[in-house]
């Protein structure tokens, strides 16, 4: 089954996020209050290793499972949508203590209340789709 590897990668992701407490509302509060290195350590390690990995993949023109050279898409050149959208996202992140991945991991963990947060995030996504033409990007 072709999809199995994605499910397995997702399982690993869910376990990592839960076991390192990155899905914790408390840990997110601690981060935004600069009272622990924990979350900065997680994100920092991931980014440093990520930058190294992407550099190597590009340098050695590594191929994916289908044999295609791995290609990286540049993000659109703009700043408004990133600054405004990012800030709106951050407001919700600190309030619910969950970004999109952890919301779902939390549901699996048994925090059923996160279903409300997911419903909200779907509504928010839908709202964006409706009014996006009127927003500065």
Partner 1 sequence: MLELLKQPWPWYTSGALIALIMVLLLFFGKTFGVSSNLRTMCTIAGAGRNVKFFDFDWKAQIWNLLFLAGSVIGGVIASTVLRSEEPLKLSASTITDLKGLGIIFDGGLNPSQIFGLDFITSPKGFLILLLGGMLVGFGARYAGGCTSGHAISGLSNLQVPSLIAVVGFFAGGLIMTHLLLPLIF
Q: Which of residues 97-126 bind partner 1 (CB under 8 A)?
A: 97-101, 103-111, 113-114, 116-126
Phi then psi dihedrals of residue 69, to 5 deg: -60, 130
What's the min distance (Å) between Cβ of 134 and partner 1?
12
Q: Is 119 helix (H, G, I), strand (E, B) or coil?
A: helix
How many residues bind partner 1 (CB under 8 A)? The answer is 112
Q: Which of residues 24-53 bind partner 1 (CB under 8 A)?
A: 24-33, 35-39, 41-51, 53
What's the min distance (Å) between Cβ of 40 and partner 1?
8
* Burial of 111 from C-beta contacts in 10 A (0-12 / 13-18 / 19+): middle
Among 59, 61, 130, 134, binds partner 1 (CB under 8 A): 130
Four-point Cα dihedral 9, 11, 16, 22, nearest 10: 110
Q: Pattern of binders to partner 1 over 76-95, x per CB under 8 A? A: xxxx-xxxxxxxxxxxxxxx
Question: Whole-angstrom Cα distance, residue 127 to residue 119?
Answer: 12
Element (H, E) at 13: helix 4-19
What's the min distance (Å) between Cβ of 131 and partner 1?
9
What's the min distance (Å) between Cβ of 59 and partner 1?
13
Q: Which of residues 49-78 bind partner 1 (CB under 8 A)?
A: 49-51, 53-54, 57, 62, 64-66, 68, 70, 72-78
Question: Whole-angstrom Cα distance, residue 84 to residue 38?
Answer: 27
What's the min distance (Å) between Cβ of 61 and partner 1?
13
Question: Whole-angstrom Cα distance, residue 87 to residue 90?
Answer: 5
């Amino acid at each position: 089954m072709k999809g199995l590897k994605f499910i397995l990668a997702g399982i690993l992701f869910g376990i990592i996020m839960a076991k390192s407490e990155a899905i914790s509302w408390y840990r997110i509060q601690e981060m935004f209050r600069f009272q622990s290195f924990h979350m900065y350590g997680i994100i920092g390690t991931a980014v440093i290793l990520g930058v190294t990995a992407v550099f190597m993949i590009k340098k050695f023109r590594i191929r994916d499972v289908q044999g295609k050279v791995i290609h990286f898409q540049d993000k659109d050149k703009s700043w408004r949508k990133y600054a405004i959208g990012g800030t709106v996202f951050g407001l919700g992140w600190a309030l619910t203590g969950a970004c999109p991945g952890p919301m779902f991991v939390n549901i699996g963990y048994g925090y059923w209340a996160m279903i409300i947060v997911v419903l909200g995030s779907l509504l928010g996504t839908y709202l964006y789709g409706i009014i996006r033409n009127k927003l500065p990007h």
